[in-house]
Amino acid sequence: MHKLLLRQLKRSALSDLLEAHPRFLESVSDAYTQHEDEIRFIEHSLFVVSNELNEQNALLSRQVHELSQANAQISRSEAELTAILDATGEAIISFDCNGELSLLNRQGKNFISQLQADMIFEEQLLLICKNPTELEETFEAIRKDPFINVNGLIEFKRRRYYEFYSSPKVVDGQLQGRVWSFKDVSSQKITDDIIRFQALHDSLTGLPNRNCLNQLLEKQLRFHNFHLMKLAVLFIDLSGLKKINDTQGFEVGDAILIDSVHRIMLRLRDKDIIARFGGDDLIAILRDIPSNDWVMSVCKNIERDISQPIEFSNHLYFISCHIGVSIYPEDGEAVGDLVRRADLAKYHGFNHDVAIQFFSFSIAEEEMRRQTVESQLRKAIENLELTLYLQPKVDLKSGAIKGSEGLIRWVKPDGSIIPPGVFIPIAENTGMIRDIGRLVVHEACKILANWERLGITETTISVNLSIADFNDGALVGDIIGELERFNVSPSRLILEVTESLFMANKDLVRNAMLQLESQGIKFALDDFGTGYSSLSYLQELPFSYLKIDRSFLIGVLQDAKKSAIAQTIIDIGKNLNLALVAEGIEDAETLEFVRGKTDNCALVQGFYFYRPMPHADLTELLLKHIS
């Protein structure tokens, strides 16, 4: 029986009912037990549910916590990403597959603000950049393969330059869009451009320098080759600039160089090129030339313009130029060949006193020969292979040998003799002439001293000096030194100079001549009438003798012009009170011509009397005359 039922029956004093209605109470007891079991079950169930709920709750709150942590992390990462993207200094712009903007950093916003919002990004870029072709190629490449990375340089107006990179956005092999980054490299590009310009241009004139010229010419040669066109390379050497630099300073020299460049430019067409090769050497490239004659006329114009006096700070300056020309393709097909050959032509012109010289292969050969002579001559001077021959000068009236002219000979070890006409011009252009000048004066003084000892006291020796000798400040001292060294009277030395001397610095020449003259040395003007004859110079400079050049006397009887020139020179000599020397007397008729024109009053020199001979031979001859 259920305990609670028993207690209730007892408390109600109904315990008798147990016996009276046992079965009834039995079933009530069962109902009590069943009810109790049900309550217990429900209680238990409730307990279980509440436990589960608690667990779920804990899980949920954990998840909420985690989520909020993740959220915070995401916001931090986002902030960090934005900061990083902003800090790159580059404009970063990300698009989805539809071309819609998906991400922008701060610079990206600025960059985009240059574009029009209502247009497709790519089209906008093409519209405002200055190099759309290159960019179009990049876009085309992306269209062909959307997965490629690309990069390049884009130039906007007003010298804005951006370096760009672009990569695809790919997730699990799926294309999600594309990211572009643009870096503003304008200032770096401008600096680079300046550095590149400076590396390729001459700072004084702003012209392309030698490096740049090579590149430009290379390009032009390819172009001319493709279009079957001709091109001319002009090697322009400005003469006289060095002297101006030396005497007036670089400021004046620089100004004159710049002025000269401008003059040349005025004679060139827009499509032609001018560059500074170095120093006072300029190179002009004439493109697509119609003919060589046309090139010649351009050169003549340049040459004429350069020779015009240049005014600077109230002074007039004179310079000149030599131009060597090579033509593509006939004179060469490579940059180096064309420049070298134009230079060689210029050099050849310089040596032959020709202002404008076109290259030819025969010139090249001649220059090669000249270079061989040059190197051999250097050795010959060292090895004492140069010796002075003497050619007597005869007094017309008495027939006596009054003087002699020293003429240099190069006697090679094998006995062959090279005449001065071959090597003197080379020596003059290389500075070796000074060594020859010293040698000749030395030899002449030595011979005169020997003659003195032998009692030959009346005969003079004339030596030939070049303009280069006068440009050397040591000349006067050298000559006086040699005379003193050999104890020779200065009156026995005559110096023969040519009119080319008149082209040198007049004051320098005059001073040197006056100093030497004051010592008793006399001067003869040689080759008068063959060069830049100037009567005023003839008067101003202390000449004692005037030589009629052999070119006017050889064949004078058959040539009325020569005869007239000879007559004029003789008249000038007489009027200026100069003693006349006629050289190149090869026959009796010429001798009689000179005799007639000079009233028998001249010195004569020529093969008719004597050829130039070793000094020992002349010594012997003179000794015979004395005895």
Among 92, 319, 584, 598, binds ligand C2E (CB under 6 A): 584
Pairwise CA distance, residues 411 & 385, whole Å: 5
- CB 488, CB 449: distance < 8 Å: yes
* Residue 583 makes contact with ligand C2E by CB under 6 A: yes
Tell me which residue has tokens 């009567």.
535
Can you point out the beta strands (E) in 197-270? 231-239
For 1, counting Cβ atoms within 10 Å of its Cβ (0-12 exposed, 13-18 middle, 19+ buried), the class is: middle
**H/E run at residue 200:** helix 186-200
Stretch that binds ligand C2E, among 260-268, 285-293, 300-308, 401-409 (CB under 6 A): 401-409
**H/E run at residue 112:** helix 106-113
Cβ distance to ligand C2E smaller for residue 332 or 406:
406
Cβ distance to Ca ion smaller for residue 166 or 466:
466
**H/E run at residue 150:** strand 150-156
Cβ distance to Ca ion smaller for residue 25 or 407:
407
Cβ distance to ligand C2E smaller for residue 486 or 607:
607
Among 287, 605, 615, 622, binds ligand C2E (CB under 6 A): 605
Q: How far is the CB of 420 from Ca ion (least distance, A)?
A: 10
Sequence-ordered list of residues with C-beta below 8 angstroms from that of 130, at least 6 positions apart, any chain: 155, 156, 157
Per-residue string for binding with ligand C2E, 229-268, x by CB under 6 A? ----------------------------------------
Pairwise CA distance, residues 366 & 370, whole Å: 6
Among 132, 329, 420, 531, binds ligand C2E (CB under 6 A): 420
Q: How far is the CB of 336 from ligand C2E (least distance, A)?
A: 36
Pairwise CA distance, residues 372 & 364, whole Å: 12
- CB 516, CB 476: distance < 8 Å: yes
Pairwise CA distance, residues 326 & 344, whole Å: 9
Residues 432-461 interacting with ligand C2E (rule: CB under 6 A): 436, 440
* Residue 526 makes contact with Ca ion by CB under 5 A: yes
Q: How far is the CB of 440 from ligand C2E (least distance, A)?
A: 4
Among 273, 285, 310, 424, binds ligand C2E (CB under 6 A): 424
* Short-list 588, 602, 586, CA closest to 553: 586
Stretch that binds ligand C2E, among 50-58, 420-428, 445-453, 514-522 (CB under 6 A): 420-428
- CB 295, CB 289: distance < 8 Å: yes
Residue count (the chain): 627
**H/E run at residue 102:** strand 101-104
**Identity of the amino acid at 314:** N
Q: How far is the CB of 381 from Ca ion (least distance, A)?
A: 20
**Identity of the amino acid at 444:** A
Cβ distance to ligand C2E smaller for residue 419 or 520:
419
> What tokens appear for 622 in the block?
């003179």
Residues 485-504 interacting with Ca ion (rule: CB under 5 A): 496
- CB 264, CB 305: distance < 8 Å: yes
- CB 500, CB 531: distance < 8 Å: yes
Pairwise CA distance, residues 287 & 272, whole Å: 6
* Residue 586 makes contact with ligand C2E by CB under 6 A: yes
For 616, counting Cβ atoms within 10 Å of its Cβ (0-12 exposed, 13-18 middle, 19+ buried), the class is: exposed
DSSP category for residue 208: B
Chain centroid to CA 539: 46
Cβ distance to ligand C2E smaller for residue 168 or 425:
425
* Residue 107 makes contact with ligand C2E by CB under 6 A: no
Per-residue string for binding with ligand C2E, 536-575, x by CB under 6 A? --------------x---x---------------------
* Residue 526 makes contact with ligand C2E by CB under 6 A: yes
Stretch that binds ligand C2E, among 117-125, 419-427, 537-545, 618-626 (CB under 6 A): 419-427
* Residue 403 makes contact with ligand C2E by CB under 6 A: no
* Residue 466 makes contact with Ca ion by CB under 5 A: no
Stretch that binds ligand C2E, among 92-100, 152-160, 286-294, 462-470 (CB under 6 A): 462-470
* Short-list 561, 559, 564, 601, CA closest to 582: 601
Can you point out the beta strands (E) in 412-553? 417-418, 460-464, 493-498, 522-528, 545-548
Q: 161 - beta bridge partners?
A: 155
Paired sense of beta strands 91-96 and 174-184, if any: antiparallel
Among 165, 354, 607, 614, binds ligand C2E (CB under 6 A): 607
Stretch that binds ligand C2E, among 80-88, 225-233, 344-352, 582-590 (CB under 6 A): 582-590
Stretch that binds ligand C2E, among 198-206, 463-471, 516-524, 591-599 (CB under 6 A): 463-471
Per-residue string for binding with Ca ion, 1-40, x by CB under 5 A? ----------------------------------------
Q: How far is the CB of 398 from Ca ion (least distance, A)?
A: 22
Q: Using CB distances below 5 to 8 A depending on partner kind, what does residue 513 bind out of ligand C2E, Ca ion, none?
A: none
Q: Using CB distances below 5 to 8 A depending on partner kind, what does residue 408 bind out of Ca ion, ligand C2E, none?
A: ligand C2E
Alpha helices by DSSP H, 519-559: 535-540, 550-553
Sequence-ordered list of residues with C-beta below 8 angstroms from that of 364, at least 6 positions apart, any chain: 341, 344
Among 408, 418, 456, 461, binds ligand C2E (CB under 6 A): 408
- Which residue number is nearest to ligand C2E in terms of Cβ? 606
Among 138, 209, 220, 464, binds Ca ion (CB under 5 A): 464
Pairwise CA distance, residues 412 & 573, whole Å: 39
Binding residues vs ligand C2E (CB under 6 A): 391, 406-408, 419-421, 424, 436, 440, 463-466, 496, 526-527, 550, 554, 583-586, 605-607, 612
Binding residues vs Ca ion (CB under 5 A): 464, 496, 526-527, 549
